[in-house]
Chains A and B, each alone.
Chain A
Amino acid sequence: MTAPSTPAVSLVNFEDDAPAPHHAGKDSRPLRFITCGSVDDGKSTLIGRLLWDTKAVKEDQAAALSRDSTGKQNDLGLPDFALLLDGLQAEREQGITIDVAYRYFSTDKRAFIVADTPGHVQYTRNMATGASTADLAVLLVDARAGLLEQTRRHATIAALMGIRQFVLAVNKIDLTGYDEPGYHKIARDFRELALTLGVNNVISIPVSALKGENIVLSGKATMPWYEGPTLVEVLERATQRGGQSTGFRLSVQRVSRPGEGFRGYQGTVSGGSIKPGDSVVVLPSGVEANVKQIVTFDLIRNAAVSGDAITLVLDRPVDIARGDMIVALDQRPQTGTAFSARLVALSPDAIEPGKRYWLKAGSRRQRVTVTPTQQLDLQSGKWQPATTLPLNAIGTANLDFDEAAIFDAYETNRQTGAFILIDPDTNNTVAGGMIQGRRKSSDGLAREGAEKVTVTLPAHLLAAFRASDFARDHAGEIRISADEDE
């Protein structure tokens, strides 16, 4: 691609061979993927190269790129492809990625949304942001360095968030003299890590992001020993995240009452499907009703499926408010006041035991007391007992609610099993969470975890008990939870 010397004043530069129109993406949702891995492993360069080689970089952008490339980043005379992604001034100054960049491109076969995430441990929160919606993760490793703690952290977060396809890109292979045994060792180490995370769909590729080898174009010339696909070939063939295995779910965002006689419940279907005549139950109230109509702008629909933004009309007057869930009568989610969940801690302030946060899931926001129980040791891969979760920690916690909460396990439904925690003091999002399941706490005092004891008592006594001397004296030893039958 050549940069025009004068700004173009027509869209098409007819002197060049214009690329063929991209019709990709017309028949399906784009594949969403992320790049992740440790700092400086070449994530942004790889995506930049991918955009470059798929002709997603326009002439004026190419001109800006060569203008901005300082030549400091490489001595091959190639542009600094990372600048196509690192769009913030601070990123350009420091030569690192700080926040996720979302880019859109397509090949003849498929459309893609890629989130280029930062490798720096300080910005793990931004990596988690990108990972939460991805179908696939491309994990980069520097061929000279092998797996690092940050590689493990990112792989773990990606797996926890439900990504089941990993591509390992062993990058900067040019700097190892295209060392085949070194590549195989890293690939083996990574496969082992992925297996412990429950991911067995792993494809490894030796690449040079900078030189564009095995990204879009083949790397046969320098790596005759590699027989596998290029990165873009793998991406074109990847599958999207599986659907949910729960019944119908709709988290009510708004109640629409434009006039007498019409009352519709607006929200996005987050599981299963629905059609007029279906029986539903409203949670937490437990009131049952039947679906009368599915209203959209265009027409009265005869059915709606997961992902559809709809307005639901029921056959009888029911008291429903924002945050309520309308669900299939025969396939209900779990309701209760005690759950356990995996957490990724995203705030400089640790997640503290017994602290009350706002929890938002779907359109429902409620108060929750969070008690961390375990933290993952990234070196050993083992879960260790823990009482707080510092910044970037991956952990497990008990959630105790004042009022009934409604969830599915994240494994069965990523919409109704995911939540964020908001610190009421700062209004910041301090953790992302994935529900494991409801906690049983039938007897008043149940031993749980390593040393802690859980005290379960009726919800109306919680505050008084927490304020008591006994609770204060034993703060480190007990866990307080509300009786869910209250």
Chain B
Amino acid sequence: MTSSPQIIEHGRGRPPLDPHLKALENEAIHIFREVAAEFERPVMLYSIGKDSSVLLHLARKAFHPGKIPFPLLHVDTTWKFAEMIEFRDRIAQEYDLELHVHTNPRGRAENITPFTHGSARYTDIMKTEALRQALDAGKYDVAFGGARRDEEASRAKERIYSFRTPDHRWDPRNQRPELWNIYNGMIRPGESVRAFPLSNWTEVDIWRYIEAEEIPLVPLYYAAERAFVERDGMLMMAEDARFEPLPGETVQRDFIRFRTLGCWPLTGAIRSRASNLTEVIDELEIATVSERQGRAIDRDQSGSMEKKKREGYF
């Protein structure tokens, strides 16, 4: 970088953040700066969803007026919604981000798919193993993630600096104490840390922050008329040419949207008419089911997330 940044006094043009969101923002910025200063090779996991979008926004804030001092990593399973990939590439260009995309070459060669190999094995190879490969290749000693403690019972137990062994394992029985906002970033070569600036955010906080900060999102979060089938109690979007209806299934068209985004064969949509932020928040505030309800990978059994994390999943 050569030219000096121009600092111009300008208002937000928006009302100031309420104290609750402001406190969450401050905490996240503090964590970003601490990690960036203490570790040699940070990377930020970017999954294109709403949490990642908030995480990215906070990273830009934390290092302003400088650039984000680390690359972003997207683990591409090749089964993401096309709209996600478009959005990712547009954002990377618009914000001038250093974005690395990694797909597990073994999985690609063996043509591992959620339909042919089952969601557990597919997730293991295309997500967990792929992530380990990318982190090892980049020699990253810390990776930021957008996980929140309110998502799931084992996440609720995780530290903000979550220590990982050289083979990326999490040992939930032996976490380091984490007192006040003083973080212990000391590790040996090969060990690493997953850092979670959004730990204390809830789903509603995320949406209210997106609204307050006008953060762009993948349009799939808003209701529109889309084609889908009902399979195993899940609304599966008929996303691309690889989608095949099973015998007896009929492709329907109706207003649906997503509460979380991932791989389309594993991410269930919800019927909804909420086509803008305000409507999404209103709907969320009276929701009677949790966020991860639509995710095939979390439904397998209680404790499945913990198991994956022990194996190196984010």
Binds B, one of A3-11, A136-144, A328-336, A460-468: A3-11
- Provide the bound-state CA to CA distance between A368 and B231, in Å: 61
In the complex, which of the residues B26, B150, B235 contacts A9, with contact meaning CB atoms closer than 8 Å? B235
From residue 284 to 340 of chain A, which have CB atoms closer than 8 A to chain B?
Answer: 293, 295-300, 307-309, 311, 322
Partner of B173, one of A10, A90, A293, A299: A90
Say yes or no: A129 contacts B156, CB within 8 Å: no
Among A4, A12, A86, A266, contact of B286 (Cβ-Cβ < 8 Å)? A12
- The answer for the CA separation of A31 and B150 in the assembled complex, in Å, is 16
A278: min CB distance to chain B, Å: 18
Whether A299 pairs with B63 at a CB distance below 8 angstroms is no
- B117 lies within 8 A of chain A by Cβ: no
Interface check A77, CB cutoff 8 A: no
Contact between chains at A21 and B153 (CB < 8 Å): no
Residues of A within 8 Å of B284, CB to CB, are 11
Which residues of chain A are within 8 angstroms of B233 by Cβ–Cβ distance? 6-7, 9
Among the 9-residue stretches A93-101, A183-191, A217-225, A473-481, the one with 4 or more Cβ atoms under 8 Å from chain B is: A93-101
CB distance from B129 to the nearest CB of A (A): 22
What per-residue 1/0 map shows which CB atoms of A263-291 lie under 8 Å from chain B? 01011100000000000000000000000
Question: Among the listed A22, A86, A258, which residue makes an inter-chain contact with B5, where contact means beta carbons less than 8 Å apart?
Answer: A258
> Does A226 count as interface, using CB distance less than 8 angstroms?
no
Complex contact A309–B154 (CB within 8 A): no
- Would you call B249 an interface residue if the criterion is a C-beta within 8 Å of the partner chain's C-beta atoms? no
A 46-62 to B, binary, CB cutoff 8 A, 1 in contact else 0 = 00000000000011110
* Size bin of chain A's contact surface: 35 or more
Q: Which of A11, A126, A414 contacts B259 (CB 8 A)?
A: A11
Hey, which chain B residues are within 8 Å of A25, CB to CB? 20
Grouping DSSP codes into helix (H, G, I), strand (E, B) and loop, the B interface class, with mixed when no group exceeds half, is loop
A10 and B272 in contact, given A58-B290, A104-B202, A258-B67 (Cβ under 8 angstroms): yes
Q: How far is the CA of A67 from the CA of B301 in the complex (A)?
A: 10
Of A194-202, A427-435, A439-447, the stretch lying at the interface with chain B is A427-435
A171 within 8 A of B: no
Chain A residues, CB < 8 A from B287 = 11-12, 58
Chain B residues near A309 (CB, 8 Å)?
A: 25-26, 29-30, 33, 62
- Which residues of the other chain, B, contact A29 by a CB distance below 8 angstroms? 19-20, 23
Q: Roughly how many angstroms separate A92 CA and B61 CA in the complex, as a whole number?
A: 40
Is A261 among interface residues, defined by CB-CB distance under 8 A? yes
- B112 interface hit (Cβ, 8 Å): no
Residues in A whose Cβ lies below 8 Å from that of B30: 253, 268, 309
Q: Which of A172-180, A205-213, A398-406, A418-426 contacts B (4 or more CB under 8 A)?
A: A418-426
Q: Which of B62, B152, B178, B186 contacts A422 (CB 8 A)?
A: B186
Q: Which of B2, B182, B186, B271 contacts A418 (CB 8 A)?
A: B182
Stretch at the interface among B10-18, B91-99, B120-128, B239-247: B10-18
* 189-210 of chain B: CB within 8 A of chain A: 199-200, 202, 204
Q: What's the least CB distance linking B33 to chain A, in Å?
A: 4
**Residues of chain B having any CB pair with chain A under 8 Å:** 1-5, 7, 9-12, 18-20, 23, 25-26, 29-30, 33-34, 36-37, 60-67, 149-150, 152-157, 172-173, 175-184, 186-188, 199-200, 202, 204, 230, 233-235, 259, 268-272, 282-290, 293-294, 299, 302-303, 306-307
7 intermolecular pairs with C-beta atoms under 8 Å apart:
A29-B19, A87-B152, A101-B156, A258-B1, A262-B5, A307-B23, A429-B177
